[in-house]
Structure 1
Amino acid sequence: MGFFKKLFGKELGSVSAALSTTTAEPQVENSPSWLNIGKFVPSDDHAKNRIISIITTAIAAGENSSSRLKVKRIQQLNPEFKLVTLIATSIAAGDAPDKKFIVKSVQRKID
């Protein structure tokens, strides 16, 4: 599969041609906008949140029983973000199984 090699290949001639064509074209009013999908979402399960806060404060306090800690928010991994990153890295790993991939952001197209 040479799809990602073609997409992310480092050819200087094609990059400069693409840059010159994009700068010459005017901005289109109906261009699609993109919405960032957050990596984490707030956790709504109060029973789990209580257990998580008790465990984390116990670990953070250690042996210092006089310390006082407060958990302000608990978040979980966004399922949509997780699904997209798993699919994208699986496809990319088909080309280069010995490489490591890090997804920094996921965006959704808004029509």
Structure 2
Amino acid sequence: MFFLNLFKKEKGLQQNVEATTNKSKIADQWQEVPAYSETDYKNYELVSVIATAIASGDRPESQFVVKRILERNPEAKLVALITSSIAAGDNQTSRLAVKRIVKKS
């Protein structure tokens, strides 16, 4: 009985290793679509002024440094809108959140 259990575990481990290897091969075929992308440099000044004005409120002595400005990725936005609309169907009160979008590379 001891030997049977020992061999079953080894077979189970081998199957787990094979499953993990298959998952990694499949994962290599898919590429995640980022929800946000870098914006153009020409937009930095306007966005920085607006963001710091809102953040400072009524404290003009405060200072802020904007390190990075991102904009919504149009591809991800379109895919999220289409998929959530299809999933919601006729139920207008449903609320869906798209956590991640991947595409086949």
TM-score (norm 1): 0.66
Instruction: Write out aligned runs for 1:1-111 (5 A).
Output: 27=22, 31=26, 33-46=29-42, 48-94=43-89, 96-110=91-105
Change (3 A) 1:43 1:28: closer
Q: Where do 5+ consecutive residues of structure 2 fail to align? A: 1-15
Taking every aligned residue pair, what percent have the same amino acid on both sides?
37
The structure with more radius of gyration: 2
Alignment: residue pair count = 87
Q: Where do 5+ consecutive residues of structure 1 fail to align? A: 1-22
Q: Larger relative CO (CA 8 A, sep 6+): 1 or 2?
A: 1
Residues of 2 paired with 1:85 and 1:102: CA distance? 8
TM-score (norm 2): 0.69
Question: What's the secondary structure of 1:107's corresponding residue?
Answer: strand
Greater share of helix: 2
Q: Shift of the alpha carbon at 1:77?
A: 0.3
Cα-Cα RMSD: 2.5
